[in-house]
Structure 1
Amino acid sequence: MDFPLSADPLQIAATQLVEPFEGFSAEPYRDPGGVWSIGYGSTIDAWGNPVTADTAPVTQDQALALVERDLTSALDEVNAVVIVPLNANQQAALADFVYNVGAGNFERSTLLALLNQGDYTGAADQFVRWDYADGVILPGLLRRREAEAALFSAAASG
């Protein structure tokens, strides 16, 4: 498995969720929710433009750079809105979650509300509630949410 360009353990942990669940596509594609994406699910290209059908193909290295950029942004979002302490596993799980559902959805989520109340168990239970795309439960999305919840609930290593 390839990792992002940095050796940051948080980035690596989050990328280990992104890569297998997103899969790689050099060409632009519509995700199950109808959003144009490329690489490992990036919705913004290297120049800051939304991905469209006309977006140029990317290599795996370029896609990994996009994932690193997007996960950094997602982690920044987590750090900006979560007011309780988080271990590295919780940060990585939440970064993947934000990467996938978007910052706005995270900010409005019961997951965040419970977490900021200090209810870590309640927050972990919320991940699996986010297994829908366009009103349809997706088994792959449920597996991703279960993996995020498991990482979130795991004791921090190191």
Structure 2
Amino acid sequence: MSKVKIAGGAVCSVAAIIAIIAIILSNGQVRTNDRGLELIGNAESCLRDQYVCPAGVLTDGIGNTHGVKAGTRKIDAQIAADWEKNILQAEKCVNTYAAGARLSDNTFSAVTSLIFNVGRGAMQKSTLFWMLRQGKEADACQQFPRWVYADGVKLPGLVTRRSKEKALCLDGV
């Protein structure tokens, strides 16, 4: 996915942020497995400075859009804390609207990645979530390729991401 950088563009390590969450922050709160975290982190990339995402939203860290302030460079601990909050919000949506407690870790992680990217509002009434609530996980996994558009434009980065999410989802069925 292409990003329009606003400042410097200093990168950070997705692996380092995952390690901070695993060791220091989450205390077992984050359910998304390592494959899911790597998928999200690598798809979003990790930038210490702000950028405007393809949807036109000011973003920093690993896909963080909450409380982003232009001209602020974040350190790994801040990026990890923001990312953990965002992951937990996405997981809450999966649990609330997609029967997340019944899902395998791989399917849960794939759906969390999708929510992290497209947002809760778009997914709550989606066919994919309906299928998950009905226990039709394999059918739900087939829905991932439908979510490859931003502002009506099919984005190659989203096609790649959805393919990886679909494979992870199906690995859990």
TM-score tier by shorter-chain length is: 0.7 to 0.9
Compute the TM-score of the two structures, normalised by the length of structure 1. 0.85
Distance 1:121 1:40 in 2: 29
How many positions carry a matched residue from both structures? 150
Q: Give the gaps of 5 or more residues in structure 1.
A: none
Match of 2:22, SS state, is coil
Q: Does the Cα contact within 8 Å between 1:40 and 1:63 map onto a contact in 2? A: yes
> Do the aligned partners of 2:21 and 2:80 also contact (CA within 8 Å) in 1?
yes
Match of 1:65 in 2: 81
Question: Which residue identity lines up with residue 65 of structure 1 in the other structure?
Answer: A
Percent of residue pairs identical:
32
| Greater relative contact order (Cα < 8 A, sep 6+) | 2
Name the SS for the 1:6 alignment partner.
helix
TM-score by length of 2: 0.78
Mapped contact 2:33–2:106 kept (Cα < 8 A): no
Residue 93 of structure 1 corresponds to 110
CA distance in 2, matches of 1:66, 1:130: 24
SS at match of 2:113: helix
- 2: CA distance, partners of 1:14 / 1:154: 12
- State yes or no: 1:19 paired with 2:36: no
- Give the partner amino acid of 1:38: D
Q: Write the distance in 2 (CA, Å) between the matches of 1:130 and 1:102.
A: 11
- 2:142 and 2:33 map into 1 onto residues whose CA distance is 23
- Partner-residue secondary structure (3-state), 2:142: helix
Task: Choose which of 133, 143, 151 in structure 2 pairs with 1:116.
Answer: 133
- Counterpart CA distance in 1 for 2:46 and 2:21 is 16
Aligned residues of 2:105 and 2:172 also touching (Cα < 8 A): no
Distance 2:36 2:89 in 1: 12
- Please say if residues 24 and 60 of structure 1, whose CA atoms lie closer than 8 Å, have aligned partners that are also in contact: no
